[in-house]
Amino acid sequence: MEKLLILTHVDESGAALTKASLESVAAGVEFAAALGAELTIGIVGAACEAASNSLAGTAARVLVVAGEAFAQPRYASDAAACEALCRAAGATLVFAPESSRFVRVMPGVAFRLTGFVDTHITALSKGDTLEATRWFYRQRVEAVLHRETRPWFLLLEVGTREPWIAASGQVQVETVPVVLPELRTTVTGIHAPKQDEQTIRPEAKVLFVAGAGWTKKQADGQVHAVEAESLILGFLHTTDASLGSSKSLVDQSGENQEVLKFMTHMNQVGQTGATPRHPKGLSTCCHGEEPHVVGWRFINERRAVNLDPNCGWARGKTDVLYVADAFKVMAKVNALLAERK
Ligand SMILES: Cc1cc2nc3c(=O)[nH]c(=O)nc-3n(C[C@H](O)[C@H](O)[C@H](O)COP(=O)(O)OP(=O)(O)OC[C@H]3O[C@@H](n4cnc5c(N)ncnc54)[C@H](O)[C@@H]3O)c2cc1C
């Protein structure tokens, strides 16, 4: 009989499990039932009592590794915690969220347990045994994997399933002791850009893509980069949308052309950029060429604004193409959003 362990960790508040952890819990509950496996859930955090109640209704055995050393992500303490949880559960299968905290420790934990780890898992299914799906070669080749090696660790991509919703009630937990190695790293805090400076927001409902058209000469023969910046930032501030870009726009900084200062290569979407996951996407001043649109693979509802009725988006790549001036459209959209607020 398989023994399935879900590894989870608390969020920055320390009092709740991360959304990504709860997605892994939902996967664990579903596949423990499908495989007839024994289900255990492990939690890592400074104090795990409050967070453990979000597991009510899973009917799982809940193990916790708690203490000040586990308040912050750190390789040595997190790897020791995950190893101890795997050993206590006797796990043959381990699901964990592909969070920055766990992605860096899980290969090491798998090595310590002479197991095998697969990363970037986007879907799970049950054939004769458990099967895991992931993409290779920048989302062009989809593979379905199964392995005989145990324990088999699967890091589940964030945003690929609905999180577990707890029933009401208290959860009984068992504390697992951990012998910590010498800790050479002291976590003193997190340096991160302020929320309104951060334009890449993986949890956003909408992806807003800006293309090179925003910095091209417009009908009056002039470039309107300052106006473009204010329209784009205005939209991002009111909607909390995530900002994506075409390659042409982010490449311009190297070509001494007018640029949007808040845009970096990190925003680039496409074949040589990112493949973000958002329910909706709005493309503006972007031509919609294949190397760009391939990065929209996981965007469910797509709309585009372009002056050119023959642009790439018009060829079945968007649900709605507005043949219009994006400067005018976005000014109107921002005005309507401001009225609503
Ligand atoms: C190997 C390879 C890999 C690549 N990888 C990527 C990638 O990862 N991501 C990526 O994005 N590209 C990638 N590209 C480049 C890609 O092929 C395109 O060149 C690029 O996406 C074009 O960017 P763009 O649409 O913003 O610019 P442009 O092609 O210059 O299009 C600008 C658009 O803006 C429109 N426009 C101008 N003014 C307005 C206005 N006022 N209102 C509305 N519309 C307006 C124009 O009609 C035009 O369609 C790659 C290319 C290669 C060869």
Whether residue 139 has pLDDT greater than 80: no
Q: Which residue has the higher pLDDT, 243 or 258?
A: 243
Pick the atom of ligand 1 nearest to 311's CA. 49
The residues with which 323 forms a beta bridge, in sequence order, are 306
pTM: 0.74
Residues of the chain with CATH 3.40.50.620: 3-175
The residues with which 101 forms a beta bridge, in sequence order, are none
Distance CA 183, CA 186 (A): 8
Pick the atom of ligand 1 nearest to 270's CA. 8
User: Mean of the per-residue pLDDT values for the chain?
Assistant: 94
Query: What pLDDT digit, counting tens, does each position of 45-83 carry?
Result: 999 989 999 999 999 999 999 999 999 999 999 999 999
Query: Is 3-175 in CATH node 3.40.50.10140?
Result: no
Mean pLDDT within 230-235: 96
CA of residue 336 to ligand 1 center, whole Å = 28
CA of residue 38 to ligand 1 center, whole Å = 51
Query: What pLDDT digit, counting tens, does each position of 144-196 carry?
Result: 999 999 999 999 999 899 999 999 889 999 999 999 999 999 988 878 777 66
Query: What pLDDT digit, counting tens, does each position of 244-298 carry?
Result: 999 999 998 666 667 788 888 999 999 999 999 899 999 999 999 999 999 999 9
Pick the atom of ligand 1 nearest to 329's CA. 42
Indicate if ligand 1 lies below 6 Å from the C-beta of 286: yes
φ/ψ bin of 160: left (φ > 0), alpha (ψ from -120 to 50), beta (otherwise): alpha
Residues of the chain with CATH 3.40.50.1220: 206-340
What percentage of the chain reaches a pLDDT higher than 70?
97
Indicate if ligand 1 lies below 6 Å from the C-beta of 153: no
What CATH number matches the domain at 206-340, 3.30.830.10, 3.40.50.1220, 3.60.110.10, 3.20.20.70?
Answer: 3.40.50.1220
Indicate if ligand 1 lies below 6 Å from the C-beta of 229: no
Per-position b or e across 245-280, b if 16+ CB within 10 A of its CB: bbbbbbebeeeeebbbeebeeebbbbbebbbbbbeb
Burial of 192 (0-12, 13-18, 19+ CB in 10 A): exposed
Indicate if ligand 1 lies below 6 Å from the C-beta of 246: yes
Indicate if ligand 1 lies below 6 Å from the C-beta of 244: no
CA of residue 211 to ligand 1 center, whole Å = 6
Other CB atoms within 10 A of residue 170 CB: 9
